[in-house]
Amino acid sequence: MLSKSKIFKKIKNQIHYGKNISLKKLSNKNCNKTYLDWLNDPKINKYLESRINKLNLKNLKDFVKKSNLSNSSILFGIFCNKIHVGNIKIEINWFHGFCTLGYMVGDNNYQGRNIGTESIKICTNLCFKYLKLRACFASIYSHNIASQKVLKKNKFKKVAEIKDMYKIKKNLFSNEIIYRLYNSKINSN
């Protein structure tokens, strides 16, 4: 039987296929102008913390490298017909047995096509079936209606809301909504 760390490394380095997408580890070759433009585009990054500081290719490459070297996070590119259309990241807390998910569909042409929904489904399956985590969490801005729908489609339940957590613009704040999905094989709730 493989240890958790070997299973983690295997998952991190494999390509995972869904019905319409595949998830695979990002590399330097994926750190290009298109990816950078998503992160710096106010229409795309309006609910991402990366919007606070303008990024450059060096920042982007450093982020991908750091994620790839981490023993507690997995950064997958979301690919549709071999086109990099977004990302999903799994941050694992091994001690407590849970993870947090962060995701984005950066390519406007692929938004609204259930890409985020399918990406989360693949990742929660990996986290529960292979890594034996007890729960997955996702934290979103309350203004992000699309992400609320994506999480609900994946059976995540709202567990908390923090008022006025994130600044949208000068005098407009968004609540933080925290969603959770339990591993039904471990938890009875």
Closest C-alpha among 180, 172, 93 to residue 137: 180
Residue 75 in tokens: 């950064």
Residue 187 has pLDDT above 80, yes or no: no
Q: How buried is residue 144: exposed, middle or buried, by Cβ count under 10 Å (0-12/13-18/19+)?
A: middle
* Dist CA 84 CA 106 (whole Å): 9
Query: Domains of the chain by range and CATH?
Result: 4-133 (3.40.630.30)
pLDDT tens digit string along 86-100? 999 999 999 999 999
Mean pLDDT of 163-171: 82
pLDDT tens digit string along 124-152? 999 999 999 999 999 998 888 888 999 99
Tell me the percentage of the chain whose pLDDT exceeds 90.
62
Residue 163 in tokens: 């008022």
User: 92 Cβ partners below 8 Å, 6+ apart?
Assistant: 8, 72, 73, 74, 98, 99, 127, 131, 133
Residue 68 has pLDDT above 90, yes or no: yes
Residue 189 has pLDDT above 70, yes or no: no
pTM: 0.91
What pLDDT does residue 27 have? 92
What pLDDT does residue 50 have? 61
Mean pLDDT of 117-125: 97
**Cα angle 81-92-3, degrees, rounded to a multiple of 5:** 90
Residue that is written with structure tokens 């000068």 in the block: 170
Instruction: Provide the CB-side half-sphere exposure for 38 (13 A, CA).
Output: 20
pLDDT tens digit string along 42-59? 676 555 656 556 778 898
Residue 40 has pLDDT above 80, yes or no: no
What pLDDT does residue 164 have? 86
Amino acid at 182: Y
Tell me the sheet residues that pair with 160.
Answer: 178
pLDDT band at residue 16 under the 50/70/90 scheme: very high
pLDDT band at residue 29 under the 50/70/90 scheme: very high
Gyration radius from the chain CA atoms: 16
